[in-house]
Chain A
Amino acid sequence: MPFKRFVEIGRVALVNYGKDYGRLVVIVDVVDQNRALVDAPDMVRCQINFKRLSLTDIKIDIKRVPKKTTLLKAMEEADVKNKWENSSWGKKLIVQKRRASLNDFDRFKVMLAKIKVILSSILD
């Protein structure tokens, strides 16, 4: 019942609105009651409103406002990428992305595959 995911230095969050939609970022500092300073390996450090963030279960061990290299090393050690891609939330996002990027031929192939699955479950 109490809250489990807190806004703290090192909390990994997903951006859910705006230019960086879908990007995994790390909260590196808290600016004020509404905004945080976030950083990710492939972007320039910037400030973002908490309303644009969805907190995840992942947390890494860093001090306030670390250098980029320190941050990268800490993310490697905490294995953020793998933890995210193996989590059910992360897996769902990957599937959504894949489905959105299908072209018409791919969708045709998916349709055939689905029919095959259904037929095989009826006949077995």
Chain B
Amino acid sequence: MKTILASETMDIPEGVIVQVAAKVVTVEGPRGKLTRNFKHLNIDFQLLEGGRKLQVDAWFGTRRTMAAIRTAISHVQNLITGVTRGYRYRMRFVYAHFPINASITNSNTAIEIRNFLGEKKVRKVDMLDGVTILRSEKVKDELILDGNDVELVSRSAALINQVRVLSYLNHANVCSAVAFDP
């Protein structure tokens, strides 16, 4: 059955400006500006109280549409934390015998990985937009990825993690990886 109206409201903190037009949400804060397009959802976005609250409505929604209300709010919350605090993902090199050599290139936006499992092949991974990568100074074999958009930062980390996928080996048995550090 369709529920006539389901809605949820979220607070927008001080110092963050949120704009909504035609299901495209733009969030601006101290660390920069992020946009997200929600045109694939059948949902209404509305700014209340002069920008202090965001209300998300679903009119005549099925179960799926109503579930999308909360996810839309979570996405906007991620945009807000990205723009105020940012996102940092840490990764460690894990190896049993062949030390993984990594060099950061391109002014902190690309990484080259050498000697993975002793291979001559150099693996290059480009970071996505707005993501920077550093080798941690104090901790051995650690990478730090920083950025505003959680989707881009986490996807860059996943792309680096994918170096361990070797078609000729069962990657469950491989004892080297660039792994996420929780």
Contact = CB atoms under 8 A, between A and B. Distances in A.
Contacts of B21: 1
Interface string B133-148: 0000000000000000
A2 B2 contact: no
B4 A1 contact: no
Contacts of B45: 1
A35 to B, nearest CB: 14
A3 B55 CA distance: 13
Say what secondary structure dominates the interface of chain A.
loop
Interface in A1-38: 1-3, 33
B44 to A, nearest CB: 6
B149 interface: no
Interface residues of B, number: 12
B59 interface: yes
Contacts of B44: 1-3
B9 interface: no
A13 to B, nearest CB: 17
Interface string A22-65: 00000000000100000000000000000000000000000000
B46 A2 contact: yes
B22 to A, nearest CB: 8
B12 interface: no
Contacts of B60: 33
Nearest to B3: A33
A33 B59 CA distance: 12
Nearest to A2: B46
B2 A1 contact: no
Contact of B4 (A2, A3, A33): A33
A90 B29 CA distance: 46
A51 to B, nearest CB: 12
B20 A2 contact: no
Contacts of B1: 33
B61 to A, nearest CB: 12
B19 to A, nearest CB: 11
A1 B59 contact: no
Contacts of A3: 44, 59
A122 B85 CA distance: 66
A32 to B, nearest CB: 11
15 contacts: A1-B20, A1-B21, A1-B22, A1-B44, A1-B45, A1-B46, A2-B44, A2-B46, A2-B57, A3-B44, A3-B59, A33-B1, A33-B2, A33-B4, A33-B60
Interface of A: 1-3, 33
| A-B pairs, 7 with minimum CB distance | A2-B46, A2-B44, A1-B46, A33-B2, A33-B4, A1-B44, A2-B57
Interface of B: 1-2, 4, 20-22, 44-46, 57, 59-60
